[in-house]
Amino acid sequence: MLIRPRRNRASKTIREMVKETILKPANLIYPLFLVDGEKIKIEVKSLPGNFRWSLDMLIPEIKECINLGIKSFVLFPAVEEEFKNSTATYSYNDSNFYLKAIKKIKETYPDVCLMSDVAMDPYSSDGHDGLVRDGKILNDETLPILGKMAVAQAEAGIDIIGPSDMMDGRVAYIRQELDEEGFKEVGIMSYSAKYASAFYGPFRDALDSAPKAGDKKTYQMDPANSSEALREAELDTIEGADYLMVKPATNYLDIIQLLKQNSDLPIAAYHVSGECAMLTAACQNGWLDYEKAMPEALLSIKRSGADVILTYFAKDYAKMLKEGKIEL
Ligand code: PBG
């Protein structure tokens, strides 16, 4: 036998030398759920280890994450039902606690990178990402609302706008609105290939944002499609996106790879709530070893071509790295 691949796995030193994929905490974005009020830290039942935070409790939590090496966060608001309406006006209202929180976090920690969510669902009495009329999700009528939301977030100090709504033309619309208002340096991470997935359940529990009627299949993509992901990616690129995102991640590694091979833009992947919840549940049952399975799942996303990973495991990953439980 001339060729023996096992020689390159013979010792830890050799394995480290030939390791192809390295995942650093700097590649991770940590999703955080915000609620209005004080002294609130309520665990999301379907996403153990994740909480709805009031700002006062979140500030020290962010400090802890920074000390572990996590410096990028994506924020989502859990809005009280009384502030929701059909046109999501609270999303750009000055009194919105989410906007105030962005401002406060950036004032407290100017070096963190904060990403927002742009979509109507957390603020919509219909629970859809776009405007609903006669059971239909309207595209063009939704764009001005998304534009106002994005500008309000930019005014609050956000670094990256995250349109997760899947309306056609929204990246160009938001880019133009931001530029007109002088926010040329605020980036856009577009949820380019966002699928109509069953794996968003725990997230919708966290925000009470599930659709009141119907599903999201007229705007989110069919899990059966991959050419369509290229089409969406191409459009977002032309429209001025700074990053392209694939969502979910582990069930869509082929799509991540496809976009990576066909784009010069950084590729992000959202390791969504249901994917994290599945793994956590198996680990809590003793069926999988969290400290081994979790880093392996994140590594697979990086290996497939994601430059940036949004994951609920970000803090734990950074902590394990600090404790020497993961080697780069
Ligand atoms: C809302 C939004 C969703 C997620 C991120 N932004 C839910 C949805 O589209 O219904 C899901 C994230 C997750 O499951 O972790 N537009």
Q: Which residues does a 6 A CB cutoff place in the pocket of ligand 1?
A: 117, 119, 121, 129, 164-165, 200, 203-204, 272-273
Residue type, 156: A
Distance 200 CA to ligand 1 centre (A): 6
User: Could you tell me if 163 and 170 are in contact, meaning their C-beta atoms sit under 8 angstroms apart?
Assistant: yes
Q: Which atom of ligand 1 is nearest to the CA of 209?
A: 10
> Residues of the chain whose pLDDT is less than 50?
none
Backbone angles phi, psi at 24, to 5 degrees: -100, 155
pTM of the model: 0.97
Model pLDDT, residue 207? 87
| 76 CA distance to ligand 1 middle (Å) | 9
pLDDT at 84: 96
Residue matched to tokens 């991540």: 256
Q: Is the peptide bond before 248 cis (omega within 30 degrees of 0)?
A: yes
Q: Return the axis-axis angle of helices 97-108 and 55-68, rounded to nearest 10°.
A: 40
For residue 208, the model assigns a pLDDT of 86
pLDDT at 179: 98
List, for residues 263-313, the tens digit of each pLDDT value: 999 999 999 999 999 999 999 999 999 999 999 999 999 999 999 999 999
Residue 44 alpha carbon to ligand 1 centre in Å: 15
CB-based contact 278:197 (threshold 8 Å): no
Give the pairing of strands 136-138 and 131-133. Answer: antiparallel
* Ligand 1 center to 199 CA (angstroms): 9
Determine the pLDDT at residue 320. 98
Predicted pLDDT at 181? 98
How far, in Å, are 90, 93, 243, 280 from residue 146 at the CA level?
Answer: 12, 13, 18, 34
User: Is residue 14 a contact partner of residue 2, using CB atoms and an 8 Å limit?
Assistant: no
Question: CA-CA distances (angstroms) from residue 162 to 10, 169, 224, 231, 244?
Answer: 44, 14, 24, 19, 10
pLDDT of residue 171: 98
Q: What percent of the chain has pLDDT over 70?
A: 100
- What is the pLDDT, as a whole number, of residue 302? 98
Probe target for ligand 1 pocket from 142, 166, 197, 272, with the most ligand atoms within 8 Å of CB: 272
- Give me the pLDDT at residue 327, please: 85
Catalytic residues: 194, 247
Q: For position 328, what pLDDT does the model report?
A: 85
Which of 163, 140, 37, 194 lies closest to 91, judged by CA? 163
